Structure 1
């Protein structure tokens, strides 16, 4: 098995004068696998993501990048942030420059890159997020969806191998969600491994290769289709059964699912199954 791009090994963490949030946690991000991180509020999702990106330092255990322990000095954290980038849920917590291009250029400039290289990275990131036309737009005049894309572009400009997104579809209308998911698919195709924290089990089932469920007993990671079908585990994580899993079970119980291991993950796939059943009944 290949070495994880980034991993937490036996990590424990507690905030000052607070309870333990994570205790002896093992967690890995594998290259090329779209990973959905799910759990109830207060389960430690945000803490886990900040530990992975170096924003928090574990009280016990260690953070590894490509099999090597991460040091928390300036050199070590700079190296980590060329591998891992975190985009927080609220873009207003991440945007601060006067214009879109200036904001996206902040990270590459801090790497000490030349001006031509910075400009190339900014243009590449803006194009990847489909906001090239907004390069000179003041950030305070952006819509919420545009601010989300700008925050993600700032991370993409660092050319990370792992992009971690905290609730990236929250606050977006359906069209905005679809456009963002299409963008994430393009980033994955270009070689970026994406981790998404979400409460939306239906989105996780549709989008992710793997799902990680945070429960009081620890984290459970596996293929999304099977992990999100574990009713007791979902209950422990404070989550409901995805509708796609429920629909697949109903169809399978009636002998209407051609492949019992594969059920509909989107409304379009369910409609296709229904159309196939209707055609068969009409023959």
Structure 2
């Protein structure tokens, strides 16, 4: 059922060797069918949390479950987890290693022992979804940064995970590249993939996400994105500023241009299209 918990951490703690706890007693849920933004200051544990969810790390205390079933950290259990969730790291050069785009994207499906025909079908499907089908034979070292990002994501998509976790996917992309990536992620969501994005961009989170999870020194606080990203107390704890859209909506309500409870604009374009024309017309309306 859409909205039910797909991945859950309960009482999860983790410390790197000879280091202080990064996460302690953390409870966290990733709900199926939702777009989730993960936010927090540098060093708050976002990367550690993502690696715990994808099986790259194992909690020193607590448990990870997939639809309520505890993850077994043996070969069979980790294979099951990695066919359910895939993590794409921030720097694509940390993830790409094969000579060509096709070879790189096919690596995961081949490791699942799938027939060649199915591997090819998955790769072509993933490349099409990311809009890079024409790059199949391109050497990876000749790709632009944006193309490398899309190739890394395609490699995860080819595994057909139910959940895709992205670490700062828009970092380093120009505005056009960011927009094209967001359209791609929208297509993946429409096809049934749950998407979780770690980001420092509160404006992007407000615009894109259904839910927001804020990592603070006191733990993680999660809920609907518009609600969580309007909490100035939690934003301060997480080292984040108030999103532009939230501040603008507050101003519009003060000026009587937005009814209480009505959703405000998430972008300057939405403001210009939906509210500025009304604001300009108001002085004439009273004459």
**Fold equivalence (TM over 0.5):** yes
Give the superposition deviation at 1:206: 0.4
**Mean alpha-carbon deviation: is it higher for 117-126 or for 259-268?**
259-268
What's the TM-score once normalised by structure 2's chain length? 0.97
Q: In structure 1, how many angstroms separate the alpha carbons of the residues matched to 2:169 and 2:277?
A: 33
Q: How does 1:160-199 map to 2 (within 5 A)?
A: 160-199=161-200
Q: C-alpha deviations, 1:103-137, integer Å up to 9, x for none?
A: 00000000000000000000000000000000000
1:267, CA displacement in angstroms?
Answer: 1.4
How do 1:224-263 residues align onto structure 2 when only pairs under 5 Å count? Answer: 224-263=225-264
Query: How do 1:42-191 and structure 2 match up within 5 A?
Result: 42-191=43-192
Q: What's the offset of the Cα at 1:266?
A: 1.1
SS state of the match for residue 261, structure 1?
Answer: coil
TM-fit CA distance, 1:280? 4.1
List runs of 5+ in structure 1 lacking aligned partners.
none
For the residue of structure 2 that corresponds to 1:5, the secondary structure is: strand
- Count of aligned pairs: 283
Once residues 261 and 5 of structure 2 are traced to their aligned partners in structure 1, the CA distance between those partners, rounded to angstroms, is 32
Secondary structure of the residue that 1:58 maps to in structure 2? coil
Q: Is the 8 A contact 1:252 1:260 kept in 2?
A: no
2:276 alignment counterpart: 274
Distance in 1 (alpha carbons) for counterparts of 2:62 and 2:203: 33
Moved more, 12-21 or 271-280: 271-280
Instruction: Return 5-14 or 132-141, whichever deviates more.
Output: 5-14
Which SS does the other structure have where 1:248 is aligned? helix
Q: CA deviation at 1:260?
A: 3.8
Residues 196-224 of structure 1: per-residue CA shift (max 9 Å, x gap): 00000000000000000000000000100
Unaligned runs of 5+ in 2: none
- The root-mean-square deviation of aligned C-alpha atoms, in Å, is 1.1
Instruction: Give the whole-Å Cα distance in 1 for the aligned partners of 2:4 and 2:227.
Output: 24
Give the stretch that moved more between structures: 246-255 or 83-92. Answer: 246-255
SS of the equivalent of 1:176 reads helix
Report the secondary structure of 1:82's partner residue: helix
Alignment partners' CA distance in 2, 1:259 and 1:109: 54
Deviation of 1:14 (Å): 0.4
Return the alpha-carbon distance in structure 1 between the equivalents of residues 278 and 194 of structure 2.
35
Instruction: Find the aligned partners of 1:9 and 1:67 in 2 and give their Cα distance.
Output: 11
